[in-house]
């Protein structure tokens, strides 16, 4: 669950920066999509937030920026692959091709593993940088529900997250069927 704390801070910062970027855009009749932050910008924003929460030293900030830039670069690459695999899965489903469904599902499983590895390794490396007092604060934030979307918000099983529907996809079914997921 360590990686969810880092995700929460990153996504909260990114959401705020995206909202700010949209609100400060030009009012011309031609609308342009704001450019998403780069992995380095995401890492910097995350480290700034973590510095506020955990009183990181400049040495910790430098190391954390490197750790999170690497993580966000990996995640950005994986996101493109996820989108391709989700499209392949939907095509296979509508085409009724069992082999293609199995292949797409296996690809999504592999990508999910790679995502969790990248997040877990980054979080582990970051945690190792912290003093015992900072580790206690960091753990307390996570136990308080500080997840990828801030306090509260969707976590595992949410849209686009492990165990959840793809972003923009249908939510959980309210039919009588029940599925279980492990945490």
What pLDDT shows up at residue 141? 82
Q: How far apart (Å, rounded) are the C-alpha atoms in residues 119 and 54?
A: 19
Q: What was the pLDDT predicted at 103?
A: 94
Q: Which of 30-34, 97-101, 149-153 has the highest mean pLDDT?
A: 97-101
Q: What is the mean pLDDT of the chain?
A: 75
Q: Is the pLDDT of residue 9 over 90?
A: no
139: pLDDT confidence band, cut at 50, 70 and 90? Answer: confident
pLDDT at residue 151, as a whole number: 53
Dist. CA 5–CA 49, nearest whole Å: 12
Predicted TM-score (pTM) of this structure: 0.63
Whether 83 contacts 116, CB under 8 Å: no
- Which whole number is the average pLDDT over 126-142? 92
How far is the C-alpha of 114 from the C-alpha of 71, rounded, in Å?
11
């Amino acid at each position: 669950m360590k990686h969810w704390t880092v995700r929460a801070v990153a996504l909260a910062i990114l959401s705020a920066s995206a909202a700010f970027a949209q609100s400060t855009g030009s009012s011309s009749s031609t609308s342009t999509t704001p450019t998403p932050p780069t992995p380095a910008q995401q890492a910097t924003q995350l480290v700034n937030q973590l510095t506020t929460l955990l009183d990181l030293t400049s040495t910790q900030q430098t190391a954390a920026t490197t750790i999170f830039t690497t993580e966000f670069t990996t995640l950005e690459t994986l996101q493109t692959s996820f989108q391709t695999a989700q499209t392949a899965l939907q095509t296979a489903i509508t085409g009724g091709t069992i082999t293609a469904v199995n292949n797409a599902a296996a690809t999504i499983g592999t990508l999910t593993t790679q995502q969790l590895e990248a997040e877990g390794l980054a979080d582990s490396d970051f945690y190792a940088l912290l003093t015992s007092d900072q580790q206690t604060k960091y753990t307390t934030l996570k136990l308080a529900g500080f997840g990828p979307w801030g306090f509260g918000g969707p976590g595992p099983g949410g849209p686009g997250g492990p165990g959840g529907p793809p972003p923009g996809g249908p939510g959980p079914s309210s039919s009588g069927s029940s599925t279980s997921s492990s945490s």
